Amino acid sequence: MGPIRIVLAGVAVLGAAAAAWYLWPSEPAPPAAPTPVAEASPAAVPAPPPAEHYPVPEIADASPPAQPLPALDASDMAMGEALAGLLGRDALARFFRLDSLVRNIVVTVDNLPRKSFAQRLSPVKPVGGQMATTGKDDGLAIAPENAARYAPWVALASEVDARKLVALYVRFQPLFQKAYEELGYPKGHFNTRLVQVIDHLLTAPEPQAPLRLAVPHVLYEYADPVLEGESAGRKALFRMGNANAAKVKAKLREIRRALVPPR
Residue 46 has pLDDT above 70, yes or no: no
Does residue 231 lie in a domain region? no
Per-residue pLDDT of 128-182, as tens digits, reads 888 999 999 999 999 999 999 999 999 998 998 898 788 778 877 999 999 999 9
Q: State how far the Cα of 126 lies from the Cα of 144, in Å rounded to an integer.
A: 20
Average pLDDT score over residue span 27-35: 38
Intra-chain end-to-end CA distance of the chain, in Å: 27
Pair type for strands 133-134 and 141-142: antiparallel
> Cα–Cα distance between 257 and 166 in angstroms, integer?
10
Structural contact between residues 91 and 20, judged by C-beta atoms closer than 8 angstroms: no
Look at residue 227 and tell me if it is in a domain: no
- Three-state SS letters, 99-166: CCHHHHHHHHHHHCCCCCCCHHHCCECCCCCCCCEECCHHHCEECHHHHHHHHHHHHHHHHCCHHHHH
Give the separation between CA 57 and CA 53, rounded to whole angstroms: 12
How far apart (Å, rounded) are the C-alpha atoms in residues 26 and 191? 29
In this prediction, residue 172 carries a pLDDT of 78
Predicted confidence band of residue 1 (pLDDT cuts 50, 70, 90):
very low
pLDDT at 24 over 90: no
Which residues, 6 or more positions from 251, have their beta carbon under 8 angstroms from its beta carbon? 17, 157, 158, 160, 162
Please report the pLDDT score of residue 19 as a whole number.
40
CA–CA separation, 157 and 262 (whole Å): 24
Lowest mean pLDDT, pick from 3-17, 84-98, 150-164, 198-212 = 3-17
Q: Hey, how many other C-beta atoms are within 10 angstroms of the C-beta on 177?
A: 17
Residue 212: strand, helix, or coil:
strand
Q: Answer whether residue 78 is part of any domain.
A: yes
Is residue 76 within 8 Å of residue 104, measured between CB atoms? Answer: no
| CB 191, CB 53: distance < 8 Å | no
Q: What angle do CA 213, 209, 249 make, to 5 degrees?
A: 105
Which residue range(s) make up the domain with 255?
9-29+57-132+146-204+244-259
- Residue that wins the pLDDT comparison between 83 and 16: 83
Structural domain count of the chain: 1
Q: Could you tell me which residue, 192 or 17, shows the higher pLDDT?
A: 192
Report the pLDDT value the prediction gives residue 63, as an integer from 0 to 100: 56
Residue-averaged pLDDT of the chain: 81
Assigned domain for 137 exists: no
Q: Do 6 and 65 form a contact (C-beta atoms < 8 A)?
A: yes
Asked if residue 87 belongs to a domain, the reply is yes
**Residue 139 belongs to a domain:** no
In a domain, 189, yes or no: yes
Tens digits of residue pLDDT in 197-255: 999 999 999 999 899 999 988 889 999 999 999 999 999 999 999 999 999 999 999 99
What is the spatial distance between Cα 62 and Cα 28, in angstroms, rounded to a whole number? 42
Domain assignment of residue 238, yes or no = no
